[in-house]
């Protein structure tokens, strides 16, 4: 199903969806980590750069319920097209992204490349990212990519009254690639989810979305957890892994925009992902939300992220 010799990195330095500045420096942090570890990983594969719109951060916020949504949509459209193009070339795309809003573009690209196939998603993240402009308490778009990909509005839980221009842009994001929804709740699996709002909790319960908790992983191990995930996604043709570094326990590093306590440790994440990647259904991997500017332990978060990334690429490259 995949040619492991066709790995390409896609670098997206956009941080428009985050509430804290700094995730645009994620790739710099990863490169610094590679240098410290004497790794030449980034010399072996082509790196494609997608233009960001970070200059818009200097402008006033027009829409508090969907901050910078116009520019976020512009970036997502670029991401969608690049992921779509690379998958059509039978490339295995690995996205090195800023904030997690970018995943909405990634999912649009994957679904557009394989419109007739069922897409599974492994969302490794402390947060559910199921908000919409109607429900968001912060207005930050990095809390909305899964809602967009599921085609949700959450009108029944509306706390906000978004402007018509916001709703038009939100509809455009939901329908990127002219397909909505991109995924269905039965094919979405959370890993390490533990920091949610009530609107998200209601959705997770009513849509019966599986969450493999930190306690479950600690008890059963990353490998066994990964096998359970793959069994649950047995009816999916392709699987996308989205890895937000805030799934790590915040005692390890605060180098991410929304750190959370009681999370996973590095070896647990590596064991989990190293088993997942051995499935031939894995078609795309993304790492998000590394923020070197606020790391209380130097470049530790980027170094942990690099360890996960390096293991993923090494395992993928050695598969037959």
Q: What is the mean pLDDT of residues 124-139?
A: 98
Residue 91 pLDDT grade (very low, low, confident, very high; cuts 50, 70, 90): very high
- Per the document, the length of the chain is 320
Looking at the DSSP bridge assignments, the partners of residue 50 are 12
Q: For 18-68, what is each residue's pLDDT tens digit?
A: 999 999 999 999 999 999 999 999 999 999 999 999 999 999 999 999 999
Taking only the tens place, the pLDDT of each residue in 280-320 is: 999 999 999 999 999 999 999 999 999 999 999 999 999 86
Tens digits of per-residue pLDDT, 150-159?
999 999 999 9
Torsion, Cα of 119, 243, 19, 32 (10° steps): -140
> How many of the other CB atoms lie within 10 Å of CB of 5?
9
Which residue did the predictor score with more confidence, 5 or 125?
125
Cβ 191 vs Cβ 228: under 8 Å: no
Domain ranges of the chain: 7-318
Instruction: State yes or no: pLDDT of 226 exceeds 90.
Output: yes
What pLDDT does residue 319 have? 87
Average pLDDT over residues 87-110: 98
Which fold, 7-318?
A: 3.40.800
Model confidence over 250-279: pLDDT tens digits? 999 999 999 999 999 999 999 999 999 999
With cut-offs at 50, 70 and 90, classify the pLDDT of residue 230: very high
- Judged against a pLDDT cut of 80, whether residue 235 lies above it is answered with yes
What's the pLDDT at 4? 52
DSSP 283: E
């Amino acid at each position: 199903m995949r040619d492991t010799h066709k790995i390409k990195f896609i670098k997206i330095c956009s941080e428009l969806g985050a509430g804290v500045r700094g995730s645009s420096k994620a790739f710099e942090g990863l490169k610094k980590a590679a240098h410290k570890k004497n790794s030449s990983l980034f010399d072996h594969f082509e790196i494609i750069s997608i233009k960001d719109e970070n200059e818009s951060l200097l402008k006033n916020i027009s829409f508090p319920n969907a901050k910078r949504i116009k520019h976020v949509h512009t970036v997502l459209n670029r991401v969608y097209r690049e992921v779509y193009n690379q998958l059509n070339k039978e490339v295995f795309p690995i996205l090195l992204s800023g904030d997690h809003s970018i995943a909405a573009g990634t999912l649009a690209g994957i679904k557009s490349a394989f419109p007739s196939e069922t897409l599974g998603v492994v969302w490794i993240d402390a947060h559910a990212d199921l908000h919409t402009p109607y429900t968001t308490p912060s207005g930050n778009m990095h809390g909305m990519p899964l809602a967009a990909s599921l085609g949700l509005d959450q009108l029944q839980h509306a706390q906000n009254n978004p402007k018509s221009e916001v709703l038009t842009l939100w509809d455009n994001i939901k329908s990127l690639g002219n397909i909505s929804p991109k995924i269905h709740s039965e094919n979405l699996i959370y890993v390490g989810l533990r920091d949610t709002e009530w609107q998200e909790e209601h959705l997770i319960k009513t849509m019966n979305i599986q969450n493999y908790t930190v306690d479950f992983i600690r008890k059963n191990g990353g490998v066994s957890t990964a096998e359970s995930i793959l069994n649950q996604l047995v009816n999916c043709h392709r699987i996308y892994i989205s890895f937000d570094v805030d799934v790590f326990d915040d005692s390890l590093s605060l180098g991410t925009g929304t750190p959370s306590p009681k999370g996973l440790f590095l070896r647990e994440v590596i064991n989990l992902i190293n088993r997942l990647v051995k499935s031939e259904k894995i078609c795309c991997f993304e790492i998000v939300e590394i923020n070197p500017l606020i790391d209380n332990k130097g470049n530790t978060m980027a170094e942990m992220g690099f360890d996960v990334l390096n293991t993923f690429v090494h395992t993928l490259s050695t598969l037959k």
